Amino acid sequence: MKQNQDNYDVIVVGGGNAALCAALSAQENDAKVLVLEKAPEEERGGNSAFAGAYMRFVYDGAEDIIALAGDLSEEEIAISDFGTYSEEQFFDDMTRLTQNRTDPDLCEILVKNSKETVRWMNRNGVKFIPTYGRNAFKINGRFKFWGGVTMVVRGGGQGLIESLSKTAEKNGIDIKYNAWVRDLVHSDAGVTGVVVKIEGVTQTINAGAVVLACGSFEANPEWRTRYLGRGWESAKVRGSKFNTADGLEMALRIGAQAYGNWSGCHAASWDRYATEFGQHGVSPNFTRHGYPFAIVINADGKRFLDEGEDFRNYTYAKYGRLVLEQPGHFAWQVFDSKVLNLLYDAYRTKYVTKVTANTIEELAEKMEGVNKTEFLKTVKEFNAAVKADVPFDPNSKDGRCTVGLEIPKSNWANLIDTPPYEACAVTCGITFAFGGIRITNEAEVLNTLHQPIRGLFAAGEMVGGIFHYNYPGASGLTSGAVFGKIAGHSAAVYAVA
């Protein structure tokens, strides 16, 4: 085994949003930093590179949004109702969706640091634009933003990674690709480096501190089945094929404390015939989040979820699991022509598994694997139950619901009566697991004795306890950035003290 002689203060394991934020933060605090990314450079960035790159953060009004966007025109500002998103709203969303199981300390850190961290990212080269058309529909000539997600990174996930990587390199941070970290150098004194295979050569690199920010276990089918349960080997992986639990495994091996919802995960509706793993430049086309304006049908021809329970931002990360639980692990999202204009571009690419018809009977014939008789019965019963006298409003929880159905549709219930009709086949796509390792408020990793493992810090998907059961949309990248920034700062302070 080769002994590397480079003198680093902080080693960051991973190459995504959390890892790069940790590296930049450590460098700002006078540390010499090395980033070790398992993927080759052209596939860098972990799950962050596949993200839509929407970010949830606290903001006080239009001024905060305009300052981040930078180049909005006066006309765009005039037709935009950005609203506000307060700390209280963020707290409420976190506690409500996790059923009060979010770690209170970590949740408070996430919420209270969200705005400043996004501003810090902006100062480090990340550009933002408002989420027109995705979290705000143009009604009567005006956009009204909803669901707490108002900004997205320009260029999406790949734009985020490109911006952070460019700043890291400009600031003198070393980044090595094809660098597979296999173990932590550890003794009673703590963690003092890593064992890594770079371009096929195994070597030890020493440092004052190590930050683990290399993802969850979503790309490891054995771990998915072990922790999430039967059937999860059949899920598609929305993001990186390199997130196979390496960091979790090496941390647990030296006594790190497992924490959080290990049987839960972020899982969304994904195209039924999507690729096994994410593909750069392609994967965003597999997203199928238009279900609030549809009815969702399983192989038995029946609805099995409340498509209008809440805004998409608050349900999409849990509904993938429900799709996986259906016969054959698939479902169909059924739309009529009245709402097709509300579907985003992913529904109009060559990557969508879609059938169209001018009658419901014809559509039923084309929906592969579905009980046609039961499907037609479901549509008839659904149409009869819609409160059609309530106005439809996609920018609010409009209360246009069904009455008397076993499974209601609580909002956005439209009659399925206007051709042409479309149906899109979906399955489950997993993003990341909610279980991880336990950290302190300073992002130090705790062992099973509830003591810090000296020299070891963690951020991103590896951190357990923040999300449980469900997830407020666009809070994952925010969490990665917030705790990445904290982890980098703490690691630098520890290493250079």
Helix, strand, or coil (residue 433): strand
Is 262 inside a domain boundary? no
Query: Which tokens in the block code for residue 8?
Result: 């680093």
**Whether residues 422 and 457 fall in one domain:** no
d(CA 125, CA 166): 8
Local confidence band at 5 (pLDDT 50, 70, 90 cut-offs): low
d(CA 393, CA 398): 6
Is 314 inside a domain boundary? yes
**Whether residues 25 and 61 fall in one domain:** yes
- Indicate the range of 10-24, 26-40, 144-158 predicted with least confidence: 144-158
Q: Residue 369 is part of which domain span?
A: 267-429
**Whether residues 176 and 28 fall in one domain:** yes
User: pLDDT (tens digit, 9 = 90+) per residue, 193-247?
Assistant: 999 999 899 999 999 999 999 999 999 999 999 999 999 999 999 999 999 999 9
**Whether residues 131 and 207 fall in one domain:** yes
Whole-number pLDDT of residue 135: 82
Local confidence band at 29 (pLDDT 50, 70, 90 cut-offs): very high
Whole-number pLDDT of residue 3: 55
**Whether residues 397 and 454 fall in one domain:** no
Q: What is the CA radius of gyration of the chain?
A: 23
d(CA 398, CA 414): 11
Whole-number pLDDT of residue 97: 97
DSSP state of 85: B
pLDDT at 306 over 60: yes
Whole-number pLDDT of residue 285: 93
Is 230 inside a domain boundary? no
Is 239 inside a domain boundary? no
Within 10 Å of residue 368's Cβ, how many Cβ atoms? 14
**Whether residues 440 and 339 fall in one domain:** no
d(CA 322, CA 301): 15
**Whether residues 40 and 150 fall in one domain:** yes
Is 227 inside a domain boundary? no
Is 307 inside a domain boundary? yes
Q: What percent of the chain has pLDDT over 90?
A: 92
Of the residues 409, 429, 449, which one is the last residue of a structural domain? Answer: 429
**Whether residues 66 and 100 fall in one domain:** yes
Whole-number pLDDT of residue 4: 55
The total domain count for the chain is 2
d(CA 203, CA 216): 24
pLDDT (mean) for 265-271? 98
Q: What percent of the chain has pLDDT over 70?
A: 99
**Whether residues 350 and 475 fall in one domain:** no
pLDDT at 466 over 90: yes
pLDDT at 133 over 80: no
Question: What are the DSSP calls for 276-335, one per residue?
Answer: SS--TTTGGGGB---GGGSEEE-TTS-B-S-TTSS-GGGTHHHHHHHHHTSGGG-EEEEE
pLDDT at 1 over 80: no
**Whether residues 441 and 396 fall in one domain:** no
pLDDT at 44 over 90: yes
Whole-number pLDDT of residue 147: 85
Alpha-helical regions (H) of 172-256? 221-227, 246-253
- Can you count the helices (H) and strands (E) in the chain? 12, 23
Whole-number pLDDT of residue 138: 85
Is 395 inside a domain boundary? yes
Whole-number pLDDT of residue 2: 54
Mean pLDDT, the chain, integer? 96
Whole-number pLDDT of residue 448: 98
User: pLDDT (tens digit, 9 = 90+) per residue, 383-393?
Assistant: 999 999 999 99
CATH of the domain at 207: 3.50.50.60
User: pLDDT (tens digit, 9 = 90+) per residue, 339-359?
Assistant: 999 998 999 999 999 999 999
63 contact partners, CB below 8 Å, separation of at least 6: none
**Whether residues 346 and 375 fall in one domain:** yes
Of the residues 402, 429, 456, which one is the last residue of a structural domain? Answer: 429
CATH of the domain at 300: 3.90.700.10
pLDDT at 497 over 80: no
Is 113 inside a domain boundary? yes
User: pLDDT (tens digit, 9 = 90+) per residue, 89-125?
Assistant: 999 999 999 999 999 999 999 999 999 999 999 999 9
- Reply yes or no: is the peptide bond before residue 420 cis, omega within 30 of 0: yes
Of the residues 381, 412, 429, which one is the last residue of a structural domain? Answer: 429
Q: List residues bridging with 482 in a β-sheet.
A: none
Local confidence band at 70 (pLDDT 50, 70, 90 cut-offs): confident
User: pLDDT (tens digit, 9 = 90+) per residue, 192-205?
Assistant: 999 999 989 999 99
**Whether residues 213 and 358 fall in one domain:** no
d(CA 336, CA 355): 12
Q: In Å, what is the CA distance from 41 to each residue of 18, 49, 202?
A: 17, 12, 19
